[in-house]
Chains A and B, each alone.
Chain A
Amino acid sequence: MSEMWINMGPQHPMTHGLWNLRVRIDGERILDVDPEMGYLHRGIEKISEDRHYNEVITLMDRTCYVAGIAWEHLYVQAAEKALGIAPTERSDWIRMMSEEFQRLASHIMWYAAFVQDLGLMSPFLYGMRDRDLILDLFQSYTGGRLTYEYMRVGGVRNDVPEGFTHRAREVLDWLEPRFVEYDRLCMGSDIFRRRCDDLGVLKANDCVRLGVTGPMLRSAGSKRDLRKDRPYSRYSQVEFDVATADSADVTGRYLVRMEEMRQSVRILRQVLDWLDSHPGPVLADHLPRWLGAPYAPIGREAYLLKRNYPKGVGLSAIEEPHGEACAYVVNEGGEHPYRVKFRSPVFANLSAAHHYLVGYHVADIPPIMGSVDVCVGEVDR
């Protein structure tokens, strides 16, 4: 049979966003793939050069719209290092809590979208139902469902409201039995296993060579998790295990994400206990007005108050729900960052698409690409 190139995207049910997977096929077999990105390139790194340090946080939410607060966390850490500011202790714990809630929300969103790609509708409905509970919690202390603008250089905008930890524990109590339900829906289904087992295999040494991180790497048996290996925030003070699998396939990535959600719940319970017993300020003192005003960071006077910080470069790396994310912020003394550069985990995971797609069939593309958990916003930035 003759070979041909087909386009899957930019409008295709498989893509979950704006990108185009060009596939060369011979009959049903995949011979070559070429992801075509950039349909959502919004110039976030360039716009950041025209913004105040705190204004960039607005863009971070939109960079990865399923894990917005994790990207805020990534950026504020780098900006704090570039400016030489330390966050308060309580705000650091609140940031860690936010990141773990975001990991839960992101993984549940992944579960909903991924299983729907396989043709099962009910997990989508269950997943969206449970994700909305987490978004309600976010809304109660940040005011937003997807885009929070919550973190600030030097802390967070406001403390969690009264009764929040109680409500959060109720949500966690609700969620934990749901994971059993998810597992019964998927791992208990023979059809699911037949569509996912031994698909999209990428071994650990290939992952390292190709820059693949996150659940894809851990599903191949590696234990690399920046929360453990290079503890940032307060991750060294909580107990959790790194979820791994050894099959390196789609099922393995599913199992890793499910276990990560259980571990997130475990972390969150410890964080909530800490928050209950340790009140304190959530924004650092002695910030200049253009950085410190919690509710009105963007104003005319902010531009007039020139306060030069010593020059510096900040680098931070977090374990984002999709993998290893890095930020590199260059401070040249002005109110705007001189250069902001981000490393998106999905960017690297997608660049290796050739290695986990070639040799499989066209019908295997939705499960494989679903297991990568593509968020195009952070790939294109």
Chain B
Amino acid sequence: MSTPGPAVASVAKPAAAVVGPGGELPIVSSDVSFVEIETLRSREFIPEAKEALSALVKEQAEGKLIRPVFNWAGRNSLFPLHWGLACCAIEFAAAFGARWDAERFGVVPRSSPRQCDLLIVNGTVTWKVAHKLIALYEQMPEPKWVIAMGNCATGGGPFRTAYSVVPGVDKLVPVDVYIAGCPPRPEALLDGILRLEALIRERGA
């Protein structure tokens, strides 16, 4: 969940840079191979891209920003933070292994929070790590999203009664998608990521 005010401001700069100083449209339309690959991934891509491009033309003519294009690009290249908390981190790693290969959805883990827009909380959050988690979240640039992966991050899981465990990461940072399971299978993680993509499409970046 992104706070509305600064989100728009930070969106503006990269989107404007895509358009280029000349004001033409150097966007993907000429890059055929790229479009074909994307078609395999998402059937609704072509009408959506058309819509986005027409909005782009319109907004460009009006001197506005290209929010739909940015939304489309952003949600198809979610960069989660490379951070393993507990058991779910092993399934998180398995999702990037050979069998599930989450990178085909444009999800590439990065090690620095400043390069990320997705925080996957994959494990138990303790009170000792709580302020570090908030610090990492604060360092991520807007727009940013949070997935609570597994029962521990959702509500404390089997360690709910323990003296050292935060009963749910939503007490600390706003969560967009919850994934149930202890731990969730890699398919469930991929489903959660796709649901987050749908959420970004609806809600806007």
Verify if B124 is at the interface (C-beta below 8 Å from A): yes
The distance in angstroms between the C-alpha atoms of A39 and B166, with both chains bound, is: 12
Verify if B128 is at the interface (C-beta below 8 Å from A): yes
Please name all residues of chain B whose beta carbon is closer than 8 Å to the beta carbon of A377 when the two chains form the complex: 86-87
Render A59-72 as a binary contact track against B, CB cut-off 8 A, 1 for contact.
10110011000000
A146 touches B93 (CB 8 A): no
B164 touches A146 (CB 8 A): no
Please name all residues of chain B whose beta carbon is closer than 8 Å to the beta carbon of A38 when the two chains form the complex: 126, 128
Partner of B126, one of A16, A42, A59: A42
Please name all residues of chain B whose beta carbon is closer than 8 Å to the beta carbon of A18 when the two chains form the complex: 84-86, 123, 129
Given the interface contacts A40-B123, A147-B87, does A128 sit within 8 Å of B93 by beta carbon?
A: yes
Partner of B182, one of A16, A17, A147: A147
Please name all residues of chain A whose beta carbon is closer than 8 Å to the beta carbon of B124 when the two chains form the complex: 40, 42
A17 touches B84 (CB 8 A): yes
A22 to chain B, nearest CB (A): 14
Please name all residues of chain A whose beta carbon is closer than 8 Å to the beta carbon of B33 when the two chains form the complex: none
Partner of B86, one of A47, A65, A113: A65
Partner of B93, one of A10, A13, A113: A113
A144 to chain B, nearest CB (A): 9
Please name all residues of chain B whose beta carbon is closer than 8 Å to the beta carbon of A125 when the two chains form the complex: 97-98
Interface segment, one of B24-32, B68-76, B154-162, B189-197: B154-162
B87 touches A11 (CB 8 A): no
The distance in angstroms between the C-alpha atoms of A47 and B158, with both chains bound, is: 9
Render A122-161 as a binary contact track against B, CB cut-off 8 A, 1 for contact.
0011111101100000000000011100000000000000
Verify if A166 is at the interface (C-beta below 8 Å from B): no
Partner of B165, one of A10, A12, A42, A109: A42
The number of residue pairs between A and B whose CB atoms lie closer than 8 Å in the complex comes to 105
B165 to chain A, nearest CB (A): 6
Verify if B56 is at the interface (C-beta below 8 Å from A): no
Render B88-131 as a binary contact track against A, CB cut-off 8 A, 1 for contact.
01110110111100000000000101000000000110101100
B93 touches A50 (CB 8 A): no
Partner of A43, one of B93, B98, B99, B164: B164
Please name all residues of chain A whose beta carbon is closer than 8 Å to the beta carbon of B94 when the two chains form the complex: 128, 131-132, 145
The distance in angstroms between the C-alpha atoms of A40 and B88, with both chains bound, is: 13
Partner of A146, one of B87, B113, B128: B87
A11 touches B165 (CB 8 A): no
B163 touches A62 (CB 8 A): no
B113 touches A11 (CB 8 A): yes
Verify if B132 is at the interface (C-beta below 8 Å from A): yes
The distance in angstroms between the C-alpha atoms of A109 and B126, with both chains bound, is: 25
Verify if A233 is at the interface (C-beta below 8 Å from B): no
A145 touches B91 (CB 8 A): yes
Given the interface contacts A11-B81, A65-B90, does A145 sit within 8 Å of B185 by beta carbon?
A: yes
Please name all residues of chain A whose beta carbon is closer than 8 Å to the beta carbon of B111 when the two chains form the complex: 12-13
The distance in angstroms between the C-alpha atoms of A59 and B157, with both chains bound, is: 11
Please name all residues of chain A whose beta carbon is closer than 8 Å to the beta carbon of B162 when the two chains form the complex: 42-44, 46-47
Verify if A263 is at the interface (C-beta below 8 Å from B): no
Verify if B45 is at the interface (C-beta below 8 Å from A): no
Please name all residues of chain B whose beta carbon is closer than 8 Å to the beta carbon of A376 when the two chains form the complex: 86
Render A92-135 as a binary contact track against B, CB cut-off 8 A, 1 for contact.
00000000000000000100110000000000111111011000
Given the interface contacts A47-B161, A50-B161, does A62 sit within 8 Å of B86 by beta carbon?
A: yes
Please name all residues of chain A whose beta carbon is closer than 8 Å to the beta carbon of B161 when the two chains form the complex: 47, 50
A39 touches B165 (CB 8 A): no
Partner of B89, one of A17, A47, A112: A17
Q: State the A residues within 8 Å of B (CB).
A: 10-13, 16-18, 38-44, 46-47, 50, 58-59, 61-62, 65-66, 109, 112-113, 124-129, 131-132, 145-147, 376-377
Q: Which 8 A-B pairs have the closest CB atoms?
A: A128-B97, A65-B87, A43-B162, A129-B98, A39-B129, A42-B159, A13-B111, A125-B98
Beyond A40-B123, A43-B159, A145-B185, 6 extra complex contacts between A and B, CB < 8 Å: A11-B136, A40-B126, A61-B87, A127-B97, A128-B98, A132-B94
List 24 A-B pairs, Cβ < 8 Å: A10-B132, A11-B83, A11-B113, A13-B82, A18-B85, A18-B129, A40-B126, A40-B129, A41-B128, A41-B164, A42-B162, A46-B162, A46-B163, A47-B158, A62-B158, A65-B87, A113-B93, A124-B97, A125-B97, A125-B98, A128-B93, A129-B97, A132-B94, A145-B91
